[in-house]
Structure 1
Amino acid sequence: MKKLFLMSIIALGLLSCNKKEAVELKFNVEPTKTSYKVNDTVTFKVSGNPDQLIFYSGEEGRQYIYKDRLFAESDEITLEFATHKRYGTAAAQPNTISLFASQKYNGAKTTFSEQDWVDISSAFTFSPFDGAENYTPSGVVNLLQLSNLGLNIDKEKPIYFAFKYQGLSNASTQPRIFINKFDIKTKTKEGKVIPVLTLATGGWSSLKIGNTAVDWIIDGGSNTTRLRNQGAAANAPANESWVMTKGFFLTSVIPDRGVALKNMSTRIGEYNYVFTKAGTYKVTFVASNENVYGGDKVIKELEIVVNP
């Protein structure tokens, strides 16, 4: 009996010795000063032992309070893109590229019909024929003000956008089309401008109509950097192809993001940052430790004034 009692005490002692706890997080950060000029280097002195450290500058798109925001109501949702067109002539190859929007299309290419789309091309500026690689801005257009073109947006439904390429069969070379910008933004009732969709996040896919041999090329794949259509040579058959965004809600927005400054395998004693616009910024550092035994988090907010 005494032997059993002694073994129990030893076992409890071993468990006590082997018990591990989450390491207490000690973290602090201070700027060398709180007032700067535009393009000055702002230095933050960092101390402590965080495994992870994330920095939010307080600029548009980089505010900690909006890191989980997914939707924003607005009466001003704008689209702007840029195009470049080369080869061929306007007389022989008119209306090579046009822009459409749809809330009837459901993403199924097997049942694709142009009748489900609204042509909104006339609201935008497209590139003229240009031998040099100059991109033409489309202009910034409020999508909620295109009812005169037949686009009456229901914010409760997803929407698609698409560029249509049409190359005619004649003695003129079919033009090449390039698109390097596609930005949809919303302006909140508080006056903040937030990205909704970009060229990189558009989820683009292409569709060839009929027996066309020419298709859109999506450079960069899922992280699109450019859309282009190479067209075809003079006297080639006519070509029609579309390149479309994914379906998305115009009230959905991209959450604000921070910059990861360190992880468990790195160390940091200071961090430098440059603000390029004047203003008062609420800078946020989020330090955290996390392991199988638990976790801890410390959030430090600092006010930085940037003068012109």
Structure 2
Amino acid sequence: MPKIIKDFIPASQKEQRPGYAMVPLYLTIHNTANTSEGADAEMHNQYLHNGAGGRTVGWHYTVDDKEIYQHLPTNENGWHAGDGENGTGNRRSIAIEICENSDGDFRKATKNAQWLIKKLMKEHKIPISRIVTHKHWSGKNCPRKLLDDWKGFIDEINGASNQEVDNYNGHSIVDYLNSIGKNASFRARRRYAAQYGIRGYRGTASQNLTLLHSMRGDSQKASYIGKRVESKHAGQLRFYNKPSWSDKYVVGYLKKGYGFPTIVAKLKVGNGYQYKVKNSKGNVYYVTASNQYVRVE
């Protein structure tokens, strides 16, 4: 567990600590883009305290391979997202800079950042779908060392999906499948597991969830099948060509009142859920299942 050192920028230093109250809705991830030796979290902390070279810029955390510096309280905004004074990135997100100094271990710094992200997600009830890149807000190529495998970065925050096994009467699905051996042959159990795509009695979180619903005869979980889903979000709601929250799989947007005529399934994706849907031409897409953003009719 990395050490968090709180060294807040003085409130009088408005160019780095604007001081607007904030209830964070997002976590925005950056790379420092500074490969110089010694450009670690402590150095970046000093950089901000010394006025950031005259720039109007400030963020909440800097993470390196050994420690984490916190520069701003998480209930105040920073200038980091490049989306303007009133932009959602600047005004509603906690900013985390990951160091890439040449004398540091970038992989370890990334691991430390992922630990911090999990901590902040829990503290502020921020879902995995709202862990975003700097590029998400302004188009800047940042975090430059993570963009090529952003999905992998997010998957590591989620943890191994095989460890996200739901319970059935207090037991994991694996244990349950083994336990029904009293009433079924090994071959029958293998067929039962294979029916739900669970290899060696263990599959992804979404596969295990599907299996659980079948075991429980949970008709409520299937009440949405075949129904229409539409956006009730005031803005543009993203939909994807894969069960993912990654920007690179976004293929379109739904205006309020627009949607898909047929829900095929409901999947667990990261810490949230998505509907697998079909449009009128039979093409398959994925859209959030959160009733905060969509309604089912």
| TM-score when normalising by structure 1 | 0.24
Higher helix share: 2
| TM-score when normalising by structure 2 | 0.25
By relative contact order (CA 8 Å, sep 6+), the higher-ranking structure is 1
Q: Which structure's CA Rg is the greater one?
A: 1
